[in-house]
Homo-oligomer: A and B are copies of this chain.
Amino acid sequence: MNFKQQLDEKTRHAEDVLKRYLPEEKGFQKKVLEAMNYSVMAGGKRLRPILMKESFLLFGGEGAVVEPFMAALEMIHNYSLVHDDLPAMDNDKYRRGRKTTWNVYGDGMAVLAGDGLLNLAFESAASAFDFADDTKTIKRVALALKVLGKKAGIYGMIGGQAADIEAESDGRVSKELLFFIHENKTAALIQAAMMIGAILAGAETEAVKAVEKAAYNIGIAFQVQDDILDVTGSEDVLGKPIGSDEKNHKLTYVSLYGLEEAKKEVSRLSEEALDILRSFENQNEISGNKLYRNPFLEQLVTELITREK
């Protein structure tokens, strides 16, 4: 199988896992369950659960304990989109070519659907204890839950969103604030994905820290590339208008560094991330401490960062 075929297969697997944790549409609260499923099944690359699983595999993880967390993280990503699209926030009527959740179900129901997904995410993640029999695994699940909470919350994604909203309202964006916003809004869930994969597979503290750094680089590089494409991209390829950042006087990595330096920054960040991902000695007892690699994960990271759309 080539990379594309592997990616397709892994995307399907992530969706299968996700569907198992989504609710059946029945009962007196049927409408909110429909709204939840509608928003999660609207498509998307399933990048975060795939990264989680691959990080799990990198450290020799085995079994289904990672699956509830895969579903949980994708639910968190999607609830944040549902709430972001609300009239009270970005007021977006369409996403990925489909009506947004509030535009179909009304904004009251969309608020509840987002709440329902966030709650179900933690509920699903907590069900990972069902796959944990021994104290070692139970402790890993507990740590993974804490990482999920931190990276999704006010010291993670929500913190980044809040800082972003406020920056827009007062119009002043410093370099420090730009990095804060993207470290939290974009990179934090990538970090959650890869750290949780590593933790559940039994990676040691130092390795988890290194993964956190690699994921930070991937998240920021992804965002810098986004800013570059807004300047250099083709509208046909991107499927959305270019130049919108400049028009909106938005501080971006490109306006901060200039185009050439921004491109160099993408290379630097991604090389460093790949070096980290290539550097682990496997700590899984079975494999006897040999250097462990996940070529698919390395290629996925490369594709993400050098993408043209």
Asked if residues B32 and A115 are in contact (CB atoms below 8 Å), the reply is: no
> Contacts A29-B160, A138-B142, A142-B129 given: A152-B119 contact, CB under 8 Å?
yes
Q: Chain B residue with minimal CB distance to A102?
A: B88
Expressed in whole angstroms, the minimum distance between the Cβ of A293 and any Cβ of chain B is: 32
Shortest A263–chain B CB gap in Å is 27
| Nearest opposing residue in chain B for A89, CB measure | B108
Which of A120, A135, A142 has the largest number of chain B CB atoms within 10 A?
A142
| Residue of A33, A80, A150, A165 most packed against chain B (CB within 10 A) | A165
Task: Give the CA-CA distance A181 to B142 in the complex, in Å.
Answer: 33
A123 touches B146 (CB 8 A): yes
Q: Taking A88-B88, A138-B139 as contacts, is the C-beta distance between A120 and B163 under 8 angstroms? A: no
A171 an interface residue at 8 Å Cβ cutoff?
no
A53 to B286, CA, bound (A): 45
Smallest beta-carbon distance A22→chain B, Å: 10
Q: Say if the beta carbon of A116 comes within 8 Å of chain B.
A: yes
Chain B's closest residue to A123 (CB) is: B149
A86 to B112, CA, bound (A): 11
Q: Judge whether A109 is part of the interface by a CB distance below 8 angstroms.
A: yes
State whether A109 and B145 are in contact (beta carbons under 8 Å apart), knowing that A135-B135, A154-B32 are contacts in the complex.
no
How many angstroms from the CA of A111 to the CA of B123 in the assembled complex? 21
Q: Which residues of A (157-188) have their CB < 8 Å from a CB of B? A: 158-163, 165-166, 176-177, 180-181, 184
Identical subunits present: 2
Partner of A116, one of B108, B123, B146, B158: B158
Separation of A127 and B116 alpha carbons in the complex (Å) = 22
Once the chains bind, are B158 and A31 in contact (CB under 8 Å)?
no
Q: How far is the CA of A114 from the CA of B184 in the complex (A)?
A: 18
A188, chain B: closest CB distance, angstroms: 12
Interface string of A247-259 (1 = CB under 8 A from B): 0000000000000
* Complexed CA–CA distance, A176 and B176 (Å): 55
| CB-contact partner of A165 in B80, B112, B141, under 8 A | B112
B138–A111 CB distance below 8 A:
no
Contact B28 A163 (CB under 8 A): yes
A216 contacts the other chain (Cβ, under 8 Å)?
no
| A276 proximal to B (CB < 8 A) | no
Q: Which residues of B contact A176 (CB under 8 A)?
A: 28
The docked-state distance in angstroms from the alpha carbon of A141 to that of B86 is 35
Q: Name the distance in Å between A303's Cβ and chain B's nearest Cβ.
A: 31
* CB of A97 closer than 8 Å to a CB of B: no
